[in-house]
Structure 1
């Protein structure tokens, strides 16, 4: 039996996944969490075969939660789900340690297939994205600047866009203020931007936030 933890801050979405999986004889929703803190508590205390993790939650983002899960002694495979197109976050999610990425508007059958693949030790990306991500990992394509950020720079970018201060980010990520400032300066330089306001505008134009 594939035990699934669903992490999403929308009750309706969690309920929908539960109804979808109840018809599958080899899997079940073992637990739910509506934020990062609850997700980490569940993973520390229970065994799961797959975690379905929303990338865009209130408070800590899915990428931040994923990083914390990966630091645990026992981290189950994670399938990142998002309303954002795969082109925006699939590579970042894989680089951060996710076993797969799936857009929330995918067909239900594809979600079931992805869960089975990841539970079996595989990696799952849609057929459309698999080749593109492999090219990206080899540096063969012409990616937009934000897709060239490191995972940590990407996390700091998202937290900055949410309005968090350098001090708040340092406390959240458990690193020094100086380190955050250095990463922030580096990511702005890579994006060719000069301020937080320009970063927010860039994120909106690139569809990184709604």
Structure 2
């Protein structure tokens, strides 16, 4: 019996690439696709899946916010997060939000297939690096840098601020109010210990977050 997989990612080309990867796997079948959290939640309410393969960065509500909605709705479909964000930043928040596994998008195909089968079977999957990080943080030894402790939304907004985007443009891009963007900006500055957008850019350059 095939693993019925819901693929949630807002990049059409990436979804197409994964579909090609799974074509040669008789035990894995993509039976649903969604580009945003709302569509994904609707599919999960109407249709049975064995696994959700979820990106964190989505237009509108993030993948972590979708995980919270799944928990609130009592939907227990296992979730494997596949993200462009590094493990040291989002593996722990993803697991705390209810995901059963976390992989970066640059993982090898064989590892992705192994993770899908493991999580669909009810077990957790983390790389050795992610598992060590989660263990350290849970033991009170959090050595992550300040920007690695930002939430998904804060990280997205930080990147836009560093690019010089206005609060209005960021709000339009993320489909949230300017007031909400401003609130997130304040939290970002506080967490990174900087006092202005100029200092934020300098921090990002020093940390190698921008070229």
The alignment's TM-score, normalised by the length of structure 2, stands at 0.76
Aligned match of 2:154: 157
Give 5+ residue unaligned stretches, structure 1.
Answer: none
Matched, 1:93 2:94: yes
For residue 81 of structure 2, give the secondary structure of its aligned residue in structure 1: strand
**Mapped partners of 2:195, 2:155: distance in 1:** 16
Aligned match of 2:26: 25
How far has the Cα of 1:15 moved from its partner? 1.6
Aligned match of 1:137: 138
**Mapped partners of 1:208, 1:51: distance in 2:** 30
Contact 1:84 1:208 (C-alpha < 8 Å) held by counterparts: no
Give 5+ residue unaligned stretches, structure 2.
Answer: none
How far has the Cα of 1:5 moved from its partner? 0.4
How far has the Cα of 1:141 moved from its partner? 4.2
Q: Residue 108 and residue 134 in structure 1: after superposition, are their counterparts in 2 closer, same or farther (change >3 A)?
A: same
RMSD between superposed Cα atoms in Å? 3.2
Q: Residue 156 and residue 33 in structure 1: after superposition, are their counterparts in 2 closer, same or farther (change >3 A)?
A: closer
Q: Residue 116 and residue 158 in structure 1: after superposition, are their counterparts in 2 closer, same or farther (change >3 A)?
A: same
1:9-158 matched pairs, under 5 angstroms:
9-148=10-149, 154-158=151-155
Contact 1:53 1:81 (C-alpha < 8 Å) held by counterparts: yes
How far has the Cα of 1:60 moved from its partner? 2.6
The alignment's TM-score, normalised by the length of structure 1, stands at 0.76
